[in-house]
Amino acid sequence: MKSHGGFDSLVGIYDWMVGLVFGSAIRRAQIALIEQVSDNKEWLIIGGGTGWILEEIFKVHQNASITYVEASQKMIDRAKKRDIRGKVNYILGSIDQFPEQAQYDVVLTAFFWDMFQTSQALRMKSLINQKVKKDAIWLLADFKNTDIWWQKILMKAMYGFFRTICRIEASELPDFSQIFNKDEHTIDFQDTFYHGMIESTVYNYKK
């Protein structure tokens, strides 16, 4: 969970906190997605957080062009320190502030949708759809509901924490089957991490 102005207070400890709870699973889930993308692409990253993902993308895709949308100024400041190439276009705010003519090959949303209710997510998804090319791919890493008792407790605790500290509105995961519905997308790649609680998926738009 990230990409919200309320996350300013966590910027110094966010990555440490995530690692403490999930080990390397959060990072591995996103790196697995990066490896599915060919080079020379226009990337749109929404809710990139502290920016560690930029280092990993440039390791694999040296010529990537990236637009980085983040609602927390402090998160952007941290990301800029990791942007050794200085070629990332940073946008502070929300998805309705994209460059009007921009069109992207790759969209990456990692642990972003979990902050929103399904109705909010559907509205945002519709806006983002207008900014992607016909053959674009969508990289999604996020949490997944399971029947494992301790994961249910952990999920409830996470929402309680982030609702209190970061003022997110959601209290449960959105319905991903509506956001990435079968009429609009096909699945090209999928993997799970952290005993099935984290899922990485590569979606293609149907032509």
Cα–Cα distance for residue pair 129/122, rounded to 1 Å: 10
Instruction: Report pLDDT for 82.
Output: 83
pLDDT tens sequence for the chain (207 residues): 444 456 766 776 788 888 899 999 999 999 999 999 987 789 999 998 888 999 999 999 988 999 999 988 888 998 998 876 778 999 988 777 777 777 999 999 999 999 999 999 999 999 999 999 989 999 999 999 999 999 999 999 999 988 888 888 899 999 999 999 999 999 999 999 999 999 999 999 987
How far apart, in whole angstroms, are the C-alpha atoms of residue 106 and residue 68? 12
| Sheet of 104-110, strand order | 89-92, 65-70, 42-46, 104-110, 132-143, 198-205, 185-193
- pLDDT, tens digit, for every residue of 82-121? 876 778 999 988 777 777 777 999 999 999 999 999 999 9
Q: Which fold has domain 5-205?
A: Rossmann fold (3.40.50)
Model-level pTM? 0.91
Domain ranges of the chain: 5-205
As given in the structure block, the two tokens for residue 84 are: 């050794």
Class of residue 5 by CB neighbours under 10 A (exposed 0-12, middle 13-18, buried 19+) = middle
